Structure 1
Amino acid sequence: MSDVAETEKVASAGPVAAERRLPIERISPNPEQPRKRFSETDLADLASSIKEKGIIQPLIVRQLAEDRFEIVAGERRWRAAQIAQLHEIPVIVREFSDTEVLEVAIIENIQRADLNPIEEAAGYRQLMDRFGHTQEKMSEALGKSRSHIANLLRLLTLPEAVLDHVRKGDLSAGHARALVTANDPLRLAQQIIREGLSVRATEALVKKAEAGSEESPGPKRDVSGTEKDADTKALEADLSATLGMKVVLTHRPGQESGQMTLHYGSLEELDDLCRMLGGS
């Protein structure tokens, strides 16, 4: 299903046989496709290859109507085929429900090496929200470490403007991870881009911002004045990644009780939170 180069095993076995060829205008992309950005340069390179060798790996589609089909896997090949001005493309027709189509599309895209980190994180979030997958289950199924999945999910707690910088490549995933704990990530993101800071320099910038001005340095503390330990900070980050919103834990000194504060950024997030707490 992937658009990436075939492994030696698959290559030695030869191209996968298509069940049929369909007019390209009878095929439409999946509107739930997790991948939103396609590199024009990569599409042009693929179109050039298709002109010379054709489409080696058929698209996987499902039938919507008598003469309409929807892409399950292979939208990049479909786009490149249009650039190459092909009239027909090879396909394999399979029966999938709406849920199965989305799940296959997400998993296929996550397994691609060039998926940007925000699209990958959004794919993990969809698998968790819509299919009930846990981080452990995704780790086993996709061959990704749980820490890799958790770190990417934390990125989704950043403001949309910062996420857009990551999507466009202005910031790397490393820059974004450093900004997750910042009080004003957008302002720092703009400074990082403007000054061309490295990830290490970004981490130092965030620590300096957290400590406050030089006149009042010190470690981050909760509202009770108690310094937060590394375990508390890690738990806050894990909960934030799981819920998709900022979580703050406040312990009362010398007691086992405390508070957990959830911060939502929109009414839609509040609705989501109410549904989760209500069990629906």
Structure 2
Amino acid sequence: MLATFRLLSRLPLRVLHALGAVLGWAVFLASPTYRSRMRDNARQAGYDFAAVRPAVAHIGRMVGELPRLWLGRPVPVAWENVECLDAAYARGRGVLLLTPHIGCFEVTAQGIAERQLHAHGPLTVLFRPARKDWLAPVVAASRQRPGLAAVPTTLSGVRQMIKALRQGQGVGLLPDQVPPQGMGVWAPFFGRPAYTMTLAARLALQTGCEVRMVWGERLPAGRGFLLHCRELARPLAAELESAVAQLNGEMEGLIRECPQQYLWSYARYKQPRTTAGEGDA
């Protein structure tokens, strides 16, 4: 599988995006459950299917571009409002970078790491090994990149993230992932309770770091990506559950910037799985 990914990584981005778009529609047409979840999630956010129809192809492109992003040559990346990011790092308090499942979140981490590595050290990201044996070498290779420091999804990993923030470095998270039971709280997401991780809010409240929302817009015709950076609309609430709800609202705002590239198929409202692992902080 690693050899296959290396071969695909040599293809132009526009070709991988075209193949991915076909894959996205094939999955959509083949799975009634998948179609229903996409429609239901979009409707919950106030969109009819016509408004988010392009997301079907973009979800496939998200998969198609992975060989190039993980193992291939760098792709074109530009920034919008990069001053927002630079100012956060310049304050020296560490930067918590939050990205929902929109656009290309892989390239977002790569772009931040490349821009900030020499002045502020690596970007620390959570790393969960692939559950499928055949995919594990590919995923492991994808995390061996300059400027990225991958840490495990354990208490040890959380401690490393806290350490990085206190050293003025960056930490990246996808805060709209559904965490295991005991690692989150129920908070509104587009008006419906969703089990939401507390890790992002805990890191910010415990370290006093800067918080920024970032996302990578996929440009048409394989032209690359445009990375966006946003500040919180208001200071983060001091009470944990209020802070979690506030961050959900911030994620909603990013998604509404480009609902056509959001992962509407993600089971955001599912029940959390049980785990025997360690807590998040």
**Pair in the same fold by TM > 0.5:** no
TM-score (norm 1): 0.23
Structure-2-length-normalised TM-score: 0.23
Task: Specify which structure has the bigger relative contact order, considering alpha-carbon pairs within 8 angstroms and separated by 6 or more residues.
Answer: 2
Structure exhibiting the larger radius of gyration computed from Cα positions: 1
The structure that is strand-richer by fraction is 2
